[in-house]
C-alpha cells in the first residue's frame, strides 16, 4: 500500500517531508504486456485464484512500451556508432579521438620495449588535471619484476620519436604523455564541428556484440521516481528523479536500449480513505483545477477525522488491556470497542478498499479518475525536469499468481520458514548474516513489499529480457534491496539477481523555500524561479533582450536545484541552500548556464556563420589557452565512458566546470571581436566547439541550456 517502508506502512503526513529518504523508493512495475492483476493476495483465501475480471477491465496503461528501435526521443540526445575494428578492446578511434593516441602509444612503446601492446593499452589512464598529462601509464600495473621508478625512466628513454605525442616524462612510477597540441587541436575541433550533438557518444558500448551489430543492443531498465498517486510530487522524490533521469540519458547516448520506468504507489487502503474523504470534503471544480493538491487537502482532512476516531478507540484498547491483566471481565468494553471500530473512518476505508479488490465498478471508476488526474499532473512536473517515462505502472499491477508462485518456490527450496504464524526468510541460515531476517507473509496471510518485489522482478524479466536493471533508491533501503537480490538468488535465479543493481543516494537536509514552510517540489521550483527572475531584472539591458524572461528564469531555477543535487557524490546527503544554489559565484547551476549563454553571445557578436567554421585555419590557434581547451574537449568521450563506471552525475558535472574555468580565463587572451578575420574564424571555431560540448554535457545531465540570460 503506497510506497514500501523498512518498518511497514504509515500514514502520510507533512512530517514525511522533513524525514530522510527512507520511503522514497521506486517500486517495481510489471509489464503492460502482462494481464493487470490485483496487487495483494491472502494465503488464507486461495492465492492461486484467478484475476478479478472487473479489476482487469478497469485498469489501463498510460504509455505503451516503446519498440526501442529508433534513436532516443529525448530532445538533444542522439548517438553514433562505428563498424571499425581494432586489435585493442573497446577502442574506437573514429568515436573517441583519445583512442587514436592510446593506440599509437601502445604500439610505439610495445615495439620499442617488447612489452605486449594490448597490456599497455589496457593500463593507460586519463588524468584529472592537464598538468599531469593527457594520458598516464602507472608502471607498476605492468607487473614487470623491476624497480618501478627505474623502469619508468627506462620506458621514457626508449619511447621513439612521434608525430602525435611529445617525449614522455617519468613522474615517480608514472609515465606521463602529453599530446602534441597542433594535431590534437585540429582533430578535436574538426570532429566536434562535424558531429555536433553526437560528439562523445558511443553506440558501440551498448551493443551485445560489438563485432556483430546484428545481435542488437543490450537492454537496460532504469526504475526511478515513483511517487504516490493523489499526493503531491514533493521534494523527497527529487533525488531519485534527477539521478534516474541522468542514468537513463547516460546509457542512451552510450547505445543501450533504455526503458524508463515509473512504478506508482496506486493501490491500498489509503485509496479507500481518500474516496470516503472526497465524499465529505471533495470539490469538483477544485479537483479539475488542481487535482493533486486538492486530493492532498482531502486526504489531510480525512486523516484528521481518523485521528479523532482513533483517540477513544485507543483509550478503550488500553482499558481492555488493563482489565485483562487483572483478570477482570472485559466483554462490555470489547463490545463497545467493536462498535467504535465498526463506524470508524479507518474501518470504512478498509471496507471501501475491499470493494475495490472485489471489482466494484463504482469504486474503481473513482480510483481510476484520481489516478488519471494525478498522472497528468506528474507528467507536467516531469516535463519541467526534462524527464519522460516509457512506462507508467503501479502496485495494482503485480499479479497475485506471481506473488503466490514466488512464495511457493521459496517454500519448495527451503528458503522460507514459518515463524509465529508468519512466513520469513532467515538469511543467517543462508550464509548472509548481515541481512538478518525478513518477513515474507504476515500472520494474517497478506504479503509485504519484499513479496511483491520478488513477484515483480520475475515478471519483468519474462516481459523484457533485460541485460541490466537499475533501482534508483535511497541508501536507507540498502538492506531491503540486498534482501531482494539475495532472495532472488536463493530461489534459483542467480543470473537474474546478478543483472540487478541498486544505485543509492543520501538525503537532503533542510529542504524548504524562502518562506520556510512550503515543501512541495512545484513550490520549490517556483520559488527558485522567482529568485532567478529577480536577479535577471537587475540588469535591465540584458533582461530586455531575453525573449521569454519568465521561462528562462524557470529554467535557471530548475538548473539551480538539479546542479546542487548533482554536485557531490550520490551517497552523500547535502543541505538544501536556496541562496547558494541560485548564486552566480562558484560552481552552481546559474554559473553553468551563464557559461553557455556567454558562448552563444560570442557567436552572435562575431557575425560569423557557424556552418562555415569548418573551413577555419586551426593552425592559427597557437596560444596555450587554445591548446588546453582543445585537450579538455578531447576528454569528453572518455568522461562519458568513465561515468558508466562511476554512475555519478558529478563525474560529468565536474568535467563541465573544469571546462568553464578554462573558458573564463581564455576570453581576454583569445578575443574574437576585433581580431584578424582568419584568426577570428579559428577562435570562433574553438569557442563553438566548447559551446557544443557544454551543451551536450548539460543535456546528458537533464538540463536545458539557455542562449540568453
**Interatomic CA distance for residues 340 and 492, integer angstroms:** 48
**Interatomic CA distance for residues 406 and 400, integer angstroms:** 10
Residue 23 burial (C-beta neighbours within 10 Å; 0-12, 13-18, 19+): buried
HSE-up of 691 (CA within 13 Å, CB side)? 21
Residues 6+ apart with CB under 8 A from 15: none
**Do residues 467 and 501 lie in contact, with contact meaning Cβ atoms separated by under 8 Å?**
no
- Residue 258 DSSP class: E
**Do residues 115 and 109 lie in contact, with contact meaning Cβ atoms separated by under 8 Å?**
yes
- Residue in the structure block whose three cell numbers are 559565484: 585
- Residue in the structure block whose three cell numbers are 520478488: 454
- In 3D space, the residue among 655, 686, 654, 656 whose CA is nearest the CA of residue 669 turns out to be 686
HSE-up of 248 (CA within 13 Å, CB side)? 27
The single residue of 237, 486, 502, 627 carrying the catalytic annotation is 237
- In 3D space, the residue among 2, 51, 7, 27 whose CA is nearest the CA of residue 402 turns out to be 51
The single residue of 80, 217, 219, 234 carrying the catalytic annotation is 234
**Do residues 132 and 176 lie in contact, with contact meaning Cβ atoms separated by under 8 Å?**
yes
**Catalytic annotation present for 429:** no
- Beta strand 391-394 with 257-264 is parallel
User: Beta strands of 456-614 (E only): which ranges?
Assistant: 468-472, 500-503, 508-509, 574-575
**Interatomic CA distance for residues 521 and 382, integer angstroms:** 11
Cell of 550: 519568465
The single residue of 231, 269, 480, 596 carrying the catalytic annotation is 231
Buried residues in 679-708 as b, exposed as e (16+ CB within 10 A): bbbbbbbbbbbbbbbbbbbbbbbbbbbbbb
Q: Which helix (H) or strand (E) holds 136?
A: strand 135-138
**Interatomic CA distance for residues 639 and 101, integer angstroms:** 16
DSSP reduced 3-state for 654 = helix
**Catalytic annotation present for 234:** yes
**Catalytic annotation present for 80:** no
Cell of 411: 517454500
Radius of gyration of the chain (CA): 30
**Interatomic CA distance for residues 69 and 413, integer angstroms:** 40
DSSP reduced 3-state for 699 = helix
**Interatomic CA distance for residues 475 and 473, integer angstroms:** 7
- Show which residues are catalytic: 231, 234, 237
Amino acid at each position: 500500500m503506497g510506497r514500501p517502508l523498512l518498518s511497514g506502512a504509515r500514514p502520510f503526513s507533512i512530517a514525511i517531508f522533513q524525514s530522510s529518504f527512507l520511503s522514497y523508493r521506486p517500486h517495481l512495475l510489471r509489464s503492460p504486456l502482462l494481464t493487470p492483476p490485483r496487487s495483494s493476495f491472502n494465503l488464507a483465501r486461495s492465492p492461486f485464484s484467478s484475476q478479478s475480471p472487473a479489476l482487469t477491465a478497469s485498469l489501463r496503461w498510460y504509455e505503451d512500451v516503446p519498440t526501442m528501435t529508433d534513436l532516443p526521443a529525448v530532445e538533444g540526445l542522439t548517438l553514433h556508432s562505428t563498424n571499425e575494428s581494432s586489435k585493442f578492446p573497446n577502442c574506437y578511434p573514429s568515436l573517441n579521438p583519445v583512442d587514436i593516441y592510446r593506440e599509437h602509444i601502445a604500439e610505439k612503446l610495445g615495439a620499442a620495449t617488447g612489452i605486449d601492446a594490448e597490456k599497455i593499452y589496457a593500463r593507460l589512464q586519463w588524468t584529472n588535471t592537464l598538468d599531469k598529462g593527457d594520458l598516464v601509464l602507472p608502471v607498476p600495473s605492468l607487473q614487470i619484476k623491476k624497480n618501478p621508478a627505474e623502469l619508468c625512466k627506462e620506458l621514457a628513454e626508449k619511447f621513439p620519436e612521434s608525430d602525435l605525442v611529445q617525449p614522455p616524462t617519468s613522474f615517480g612510477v608514472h609515465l606521463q604523455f602529453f599530446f602534441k597540441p597542433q594535431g590534437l587541436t585540429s582533430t578535436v575541433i574538426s570532429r566536434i564541428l562535424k558531429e555536433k550533438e553526437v560528439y562523445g557518444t558511443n553506440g558501440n558500448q551498448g551493443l551485445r556484440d560489438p563485432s556483430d551489430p546484428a545481435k542488437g543492443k543490450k537492454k537496460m531498465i532504469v526504475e526511478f521516481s515513483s511517487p504516490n498517486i493523489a499526493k503531491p510530487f514533493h521534494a523527497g522524490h527529487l533525488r531519485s528523479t534527477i539521478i534516474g533521469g541522468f542514468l537513463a540519458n547516460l546509457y542512451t547516448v552510450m547505445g543501450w536500449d533504455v526503458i524508463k520506468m515509473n512504478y506508482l504507489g496506486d493501490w491500498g487502503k489509503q485509496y479507500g480513505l481518500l474516496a470516503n474523504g472526497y465524499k465529505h470534503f471533495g470539490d469538483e471544480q477544485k479537483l479539475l483545477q488542481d487535482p493533486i493538491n486538492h486530493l492532498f487537502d482531502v486526504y489531510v482532512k480525512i486523516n484528521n477525522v481518523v485521528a479523532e476516531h482513533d483517540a477513544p478507540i485507543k483509550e478503550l484498547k488500553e482499558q481492555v488491556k488493563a482489565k485483562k491483566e487483572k483478570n477482570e471481565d472485559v466483554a462490555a468494553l470489547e463490545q463497545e470497542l467493536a462498535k467504535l471500530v465498526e463506524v470508524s473512518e479507518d474501518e470504512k476505508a478498509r471496507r471501501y478498499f475491499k470493494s475495490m479488490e472485489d471489482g466494484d465498478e463504482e469504486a474503481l471508476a473513482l480510483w481510476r479518475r484520481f489516478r488519471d488526474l494525478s498522472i497528468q499532473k506528474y507528467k507536467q512536473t516531469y516535463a519541467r525536469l526534462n524527464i519522460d517515462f516509457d512506462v507508467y505502472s503501479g502496485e495494482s499491477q503485480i499479479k497475485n499468481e506471481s506473488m503466490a508462485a514466488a512464495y511457493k518456490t521459496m517454500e519448495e527450496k527451503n528458503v522460507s520458514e514459518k515463524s509465529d504464524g508468519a512466513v520469513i526468510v532467515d538469511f543467517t541460515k543462508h550464509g548472509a548474516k548481515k541481512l538478518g531476517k525478513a518477513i515474507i507473509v504476515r500472520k494474517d496471510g497478506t504479503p509485504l513489499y519484499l513479496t511483491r518485489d520478488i513477484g515483480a522482478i520475475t515478471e519483468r524479466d519474462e516481459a523484457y529480457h533485460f541485460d541490466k536493471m537499475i533501482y534508483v533508491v535511497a541508501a536507507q533501503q540498502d538492506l531491503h534491496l540486498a534482501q531482494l537480490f539475495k532472495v532472488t538468488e536463493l530461489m534459483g535465479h542467480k543470473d537474474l539477481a546478478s543483472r540487478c543493481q541498486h544505485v543509492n543516494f543520501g538525503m537532503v537536509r533542510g529542504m524548504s523555500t524562502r518562506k520556510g514552510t512550503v515543501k512541495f517540489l512545484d513550490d520549490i521550483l517556483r520559488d527558485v524561479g522567482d529568485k532567478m527572475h529577480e536577479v535577471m531584472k537587475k540588469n535591465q539591458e540584458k533582461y530586455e533582450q531575453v525573449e521569454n524572461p519568465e521561462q528562462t528564469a524557470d529554467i535557471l531555477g530548475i538548473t539551480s536545484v538539479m546542479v546542487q543535487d548533482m554536485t557531490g557524490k550520490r551517497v552523500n546527503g547535502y543541505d538544501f541552500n536556496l541562496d547558494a544554489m541560485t548564486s552566480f559565484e562558484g560552481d552552481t547551476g546559474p554559473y553553468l548556464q551563464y557559461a553557455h549563454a556567454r558562448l552563444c553571445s560570442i557567436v552572435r557578436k562575431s557575425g560569423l556563420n557557424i556552418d562555415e567554421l569548418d573551413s577555419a585555419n586551426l593552425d592559427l590557434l597557437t596560444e596555450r589557452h587554445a591548446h588546453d581547451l582543445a585537450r579538455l574537449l578531447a576528454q569528453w568521450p572518455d568522461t562519458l565512458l568513465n561515468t558508466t563506471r562511476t554512475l555519478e552525475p558529478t563525474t560529468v558535472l565536474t568535467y563541465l566546470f573544469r571546462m568553464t574555468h578554462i573558458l573564463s580565463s581564455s576570453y581576454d587572451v583569445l578575443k574574437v571581436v576585433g581580431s584578424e578575420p582568419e584568426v577570428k574564424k579559428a577562435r570562433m571555431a574553438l569557442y563553438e566547439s566548447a559551446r557544443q560540448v557544454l551543451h551536450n554535457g548539460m543535456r546528458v545531465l537533464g538540463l536545458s541550456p539557455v542562449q540568453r540570460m
